[in-house]
Chain A
Amino acid sequence: MALEIMEGSIAIAQAVRRCRPQVVAAYPITPQTHIVEALAEIVANGELSADYITVESEFSALSACEGAVAAGSRAYSATTSQGLALMFEVCFNMAGMRLPLVMTIANRAMGAPLSIWNDQQDSIALRDAGWLQLYAEDNQEAVDLHYIGYRVAEDHRVLLPVMVCFDGFVLSHTYEPVDMLTQEEVDAYLPPFVPKFMLDAKNPVSMGMYATPDYYPEFRYETDLAQKRALEVIREAGREFGEQFGRDYSALVESYRMDDAETAIIAMGSICGTTKEAVDEMRDAGKRVGLVRLRTFRPFPTEDLREALSGVSRVAVLDRNVSLGAGGTVHRGAVVLEVKDALYGEPIPVLDYVIGLGGRDVRIEDIKRVVELCEAGDGDRFYGLRTEVL
């Protein structure tokens, strides 16, 4: 293993190169740009045999990818925030046609007001589109999830597109040591794409045609079944990755210092790094606190989460999004709704903290304060509001 100090976006581009996509179509949007600029150069240099299309919008980017996959190619795109919102229609379309893709989301807040900074509202808003959603804590994980993502997406038990979500700027523009697999290692792990169905003049198929009410619900049901099967396929692909390269991603949720924990913090993405530091400091001070990190949000690992939370007295969820209007008179994000669903019937209080929206910094002392609030039963609220500007 040779660690190399790399910017997150460059590491992602190098990982994508090793996945050998044949078509790359993307539109520039901050903070995703460095990934696609690097890929444009990689393709132009002949280091990747692919067509790089400088499309005129994100809508065209994902549409071109969808066409490429339908024709039997491996494709790649990357976007964030407003760009992902513009892809909304194509996202549903692509999952509905069961066309596999890996797309990187450099997570960013949604406008208005315009914000280029990090939260997870963009991908969360595509929760019901049928895409698998994987969230990385650091750049090594973000890189590895691309290899795993293609394996899972193209598995014939799944055949669904995958969003690999990593926090914009916080990870995308940060230099970290990353172990880049060699091309031979990636080739050994990730076989060429074998489409189950593809556009072929000799064996013509029609994709995306009308489904009357007699057929439509069954399509949705089968797509949901594919999401459920993906739970095991991700575990398998993650386990095999660990066997080959030493980094095991078989767990859909990661438990950090959860032994004998009374308070569990649940979070996704780079905030988990800060949370682990906070947990260490609170443990040193004698507090029984742990972190349960969600690596997959779709499919949601309900059973894994229930198991990880068995024995805790209370749960604090850090939601870097807000589901506007959810929760009646209290404030909630999308993650807590899933957690409450997983724990339904359990006498464990689950409190939500809408935190870090639009790039608002979340510090170790903020995590500690959240735990104090949770212990006092004070939650389901925005954390850290500047009341003087309200």
Chain B
Amino acid sequence: MTFETWLRADRLPHIWCSGCSNGTILNCTLTAVDDLGLDPDRTVFVGGIGCSSRSVGYVATDSLHTTHGRALAFATGVKLADPTLNVLVFTGDGDLAAIGGNHFIHSCRRNIDLTVVCMNNLIYGMTGGQGSPTTPPGALSTTTPYGASEPAFDLAQLAVAAGANYVARWTSYHVRELERAIRAGIETPGLSFIEVRASCPTNYGRRNRLRDVTDQIEIFRTRSMLKAKYDRLVAAGSPVPPDAIVVGEFVRRANPVMGVPP
């Protein structure tokens, strides 16, 4: 099998814009579940609302496309109803960190056995590019026309602090690393959170001088810094570029979990 056998070809073409990285992230996720040999009949994909969450409609398993921000709450119900199911969640920064922020921290706190893939494109893409809780200070959006003035969430650090057993961050440029992280997330009991920095040329890039499809990918390629290197620099008191995207595994631990078969 390949990731393609997990795709619902009858639903294609997808709705995503040219240059959107959601398709790459979907393929990486499906490659990971395929590599692990998960049974499509025992696997459920759950999404909320937004470009990211549309992914669940393209997967050839049972899927729940739910309300804005609530994917984790729905997924919690699915997992507790039948802990033998593999439950994966597709979400985005608006869905997960804004309207669904409470469900995010509490799912991490409970450490429920879900794998959460967050396509963080720093913007509300589907509704036309409004500022989200991960829009970086200074970035332009339709609701921050002179630059965002509020600090942004670091989603990976938030998940670590809230108690998730597995946390990693990669970008849509790092497809092999991302596949491995999602595999590790599925294999780690408890809540696994994989943040993926995603490109959105249509609604983020065009307002922030990253108009071309390759512009954001180039940033992912050149400004990503491995967590180990970042930690070394910080420990040595060395300067860290302020625009560095810290990537890698943030935590892998074996704290008590909820929602695994007895």
Expressed in whole angstroms, the Cα–Cα distance for A40 and B149 within the complex equals 13
Knowing A28-B127, A37-B128 touch, does A54 contact B68 (C-beta < 8 A)? no
- Asked if A4 is at the interface (CB within 8 A of a chain B CB), the reply is no
Which chain A residues border B130 with CB–CB below 8 Å? 28, 33, 36-37, 54
Specify which of B67, B101, B143 is in contact with A40 (CB 8 Å cutoff): B143
Distance, CA A45 to CA B145, complexed state (A): 9
Contact A37 B143 (CB under 8 A): yes
Q: Which residues from chain B contact A93 at a C-beta distance below 8 Å?
A: none
Contact with A along B103-137 (1 / 0, CB 8 A): 00000000000000000000010111011010000
Annotate B41-68 by CB proximity to A: 1 below 8 A, 0 otherwise.
Answer: 0000000010000000000000001011
Chain B residue nearest to A114 (CB atoms) is B65
**Is A27 in contact with chain B by the CB < 8 A criterion?**
yes
Q: Is A14 an interface position by the 8 A CB rule?
A: no
- Cα A123 to Cα B126 with chains together (Å): 23
Which residues of B lie under 8 Å from residue A54 when comparing CB positions? 130-131, 143-144, 150
Over the window 15-31 of chain A, the binary record of Cβ atoms lying under 8 Å from chain B Cβ atoms (1 yes, 0 no) is 00000000000011110
Minimum C-beta distance from B129 to chain A (A): 8
Binary contact track A36-74/B, C-beta < 8 Å → 1, others 0: 110011001100000010101110000000000000000
User: Shortest Cβ distance from B162 into chain A, in angstroms?
Assistant: 16
Chain A 306-317 per-residue mask, 1 if CB under 8 angstroms from chain B, else 0: 000000000000
A33, A45, A52, A86: which contacts B128 (Cβ < 8 A)?
A33
Q: Is there a chain B Cβ closer than 8 Å to A111's Cβ?
A: yes
A41 touches B127 (CB 8 A): no
Mark B246-262 against chain A: 1 for CB-CB distance below 8 A, else 0. 00000000000000000
A82 touches B (CB below 8 Å): yes
A70 to chain B, nearest CB (A): 23
Assess the B67–A82 pair: CB atoms within 8 A. Answer: yes
Q: A37-B130, A54-B150, A56-B133 are in contact. Are A82 and B68 (CB under 8 A)?
A: yes
- Shortest Cβ distance from B133 into A: residue: A56
- Residue contact A37 to B142, C-beta cutoff 8 Å: yes
Q: Which residues of A contact B97 (CB under 8 A)?
A: 56
User: CA separation between A37 and B145, bound complex, in Å?
Assistant: 9
A155 to B156, CA, bound (A): 49
A52 to B144, CA, bound (A): 10
Chain B residues near A58 (CB-CB < 8 A): 99
Q: Which residues of A contact B124 (CB under 8 A)?
A: 28
Known: A28-B130, A33-B128. A57 touches B98 (CB 8 A): yes
For B146, what are the chain A residues with a Cβ–Cβ distance below 8 Å?
Answer: 44
B69 an interface residue at 8 Å Cβ cutoff? yes
Give residues 175-231 of B contacting A (CB, 8 Å). none
**Contacts of A188-235 to chain B: CB distance below 8 A:** none
Residues of B at under 8 Å CB distance from A?
Answer: 49, 65, 67-69, 97-99, 101, 124, 126-128, 130-131, 133, 142-146, 150
**Which 9 pairs across A and B sit closest by C-beta, in order of nearness?**
A57-B99, A56-B98, A40-B143, A37-B142, A28-B130, A28-B127, A41-B145, A44-B145, A33-B127
